[in-house]
């Protein structure tokens, strides 16, 4: 079976572009803090969601609605409404991370398919099967801490479908278990759907150096004429002991296109592309490449030559934890 390409859409235009480019499935979110890409100018109103889903369904594509932040105490109704509205809009599934929200969705919307978000960081077969038994989860998006052999081992021990990230931004920490961003800025992926938010970024020029700061902390410093990468906290340059370096991760993004045959062999159902904040032309290009790749793998042909490097952040790419030596 051809592996499913799961593609991000931050706007209705990106959704249509992804469907036309051949994405099997689109994931998107409502324009509020219920989803983990809560950026200004992104995401869908209720009406846009219904229209987008109708557009996708008419062309044989599915739409998943990500409601994958952790509901705020006292305000859970906002997240409950998002689940109800996703069902009303015709979503093929919701992508959830919070235990309380999973229990709510399973109890109140039993016919709405539930996927487990990467933000739940379910990293072994025991916990994946537990989510299946407790909440009827049908698919789990695996955290970016696992090697390909570990993914294969998980698939041998579970009936629940697995989806893995293959392209785009790379979390270095276990997803949904990181409060680095709120330590420096007060805003976090879990609570606010943002990481290293632009609202807290400053570029400061001093003595021929350009510092990119987040919440007042210098994340990178480069020569004034060098390109300054965005100050994503975990990809910053810091000093520990005698060493100054990118101690956590280099400013790289994930590209696992060459691992697609191995991921297929490992029993992975779906390949996920990160980037709801990306343009529709980017999305369309990435989808075309990955669609061609999964069809080649399905037909036993060699992978088409890599076309994706130029789309990657700062040109530098990694296969992350899929190779054990990354750890």
Could you list the residues that contact other proteins (CB under 8 A)? 70-74, 76, 97-101, 103-104, 120-127, 129-130, 143-146, 150, 153, 172-174, 176-180, 182-186, 188, 190-191, 211, 215, 217-219, 221, 234, 236-241, 243-245, 247-249, 321, 324-327
Chain centroid to Cα 275, Å, comes to 7
Q: Which is nearer to other proteins, 92 or 163 (CB)?
A: 163
Handedness of CA 261, 168, 248, 226 (dihedral sign): positive
Looking at beta carbons, which pairs linking 146-153 to residues 24 or more positions away fall under 8 Å?
146/321, 146/322, 147/321, 147/322, 147/323, 147/324, 148/259, 148/262, 148/263, 148/266, 148/322, 148/323, 149/266, 149/324, 151/263, 151/266, 151/267, 151/268, 151/322, 152/265, 152/266, 152/267, 153/125
CB of 165 to other proteins, least distance (A): 13
Q: Which is nearer to other proteins, 88 or 179 (CB)?
A: 179
Q: Which of 2, 69, 56 is nearest to 26 (CA)?
A: 56
Q: Which of 91, 65, 272 is nearest to 168 (CA)?
A: 272
Question: Rounded to whole angstroms, how far apart are CA atoms 103 and 261?
Answer: 36
Q: Which is nearer to other proteins, 285 or 319 (CB)?
A: 319
Q: Which is nearer to other proteins, 310 or 327 (CB)?
A: 327
CB of 259 to other proteins, least distance (A): 16
Half-sphere exposure of 41 (CA within 13 A, CB side): 5
Question: Rounded to whole angstroms, how far apart are CA atoms 19 and 15?
Answer: 6
CB of 193 to other proteins, least distance (A): 13
Q: Which of 65, 78, 139, 138 is nearest to 104 (CA)?
A: 78
CB of 269 to other proteins, least distance (A): 20
Q: Which is nearer to other proteins, 62 or 235 (CB)?
A: 235
Q: Which is nearer to other proteins, 2 or 204 (CB)?
A: 204
Question: Rounded to whole angstroms, how far apart are CA atoms 177 and 27?
Answer: 22
Q: Which is nearer to other proteins, 183 or 203 (CB)?
A: 183
CB of 180 to other proteins, least distance (A): 5
Q: Which is nearer to other proteins, 7 or 234 (CB)?
A: 234
Strand partners, 253: 317
- C-alpha triplet 228, 231, 235: angle, nearest 5°: 105
CB of 274 to other proteins, least distance (A): 17
**DSSP sequence for 57-78:** HHTT-EEEEEE-S-PPTT-HHH
CB of 74 to other proteins, least distance (A): 4
CB of 264 to other proteins, least distance (A): 22
């Amino acid at each position: 079976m051809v592996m499913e390409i799961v593609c991000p859409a931050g706007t209705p235009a990106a959704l249509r572009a992804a469907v036309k480019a051949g994405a099997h499935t689109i994931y998107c979110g409502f324009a509020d803090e219920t989803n983990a890409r809560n950026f200004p100018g992104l995401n869908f109103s209720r009406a846009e969601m219904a229209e987008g889903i109708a557009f996708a369904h008419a062309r044989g594509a599915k739409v998943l609605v990500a409601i994958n932040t952790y509901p705020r105490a006292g305000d859970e109704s906002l997240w409950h409404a998002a689940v109800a509205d996703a069902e009303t809009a015709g979503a093929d599934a919701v992508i959830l991370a919070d235990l309380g929200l999973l229990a709510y969705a399973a109890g109140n919307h039993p016919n709405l398919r539930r996927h487990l978000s990467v933000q739940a960081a379910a990293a072994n077969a025991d916990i994946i099967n537990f989510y299946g038994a407790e909440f009827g989860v049908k698919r789990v998006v695996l955290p970016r801490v696992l090697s390909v052999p570990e993914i294969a081992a998980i698939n041998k021990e579970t009936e629940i479908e697995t989806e893995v990230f293959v392209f785009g931004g790379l979390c270095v920490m276990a997803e949904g278990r990181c409060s680095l961003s709120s330590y420096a800025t007060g805003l976090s992926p879990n609570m606010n759907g943002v990481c290293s938010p632009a609202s807290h970024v400053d570029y400061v020029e001093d003595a021929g150096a350009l510092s990119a700061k987040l919440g007042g902390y210098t994340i990178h410093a480069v020569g004034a004429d060098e390109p300054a990468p965005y100050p994503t906290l975990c990809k910053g340059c810091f000093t520990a002991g005698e060493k100054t370096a990118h101690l956590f991760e280099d400013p790289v993004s994930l590209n696992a296109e060459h691992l697609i045959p191995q991921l297929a062999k490992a029993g992975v159902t779906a390949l996920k592309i990160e980037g709801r904040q990306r343009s529709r032309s980017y999305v369309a290009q990435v989808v075309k490449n990955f669609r061609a790749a999964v069809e080649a793998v399905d037909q036993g042909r060699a992978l088409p030559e890599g076309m994706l490097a130029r789309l990657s952040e700062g040109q530098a790419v990694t296969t992350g934890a899929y190779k054990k030596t990354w750890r």
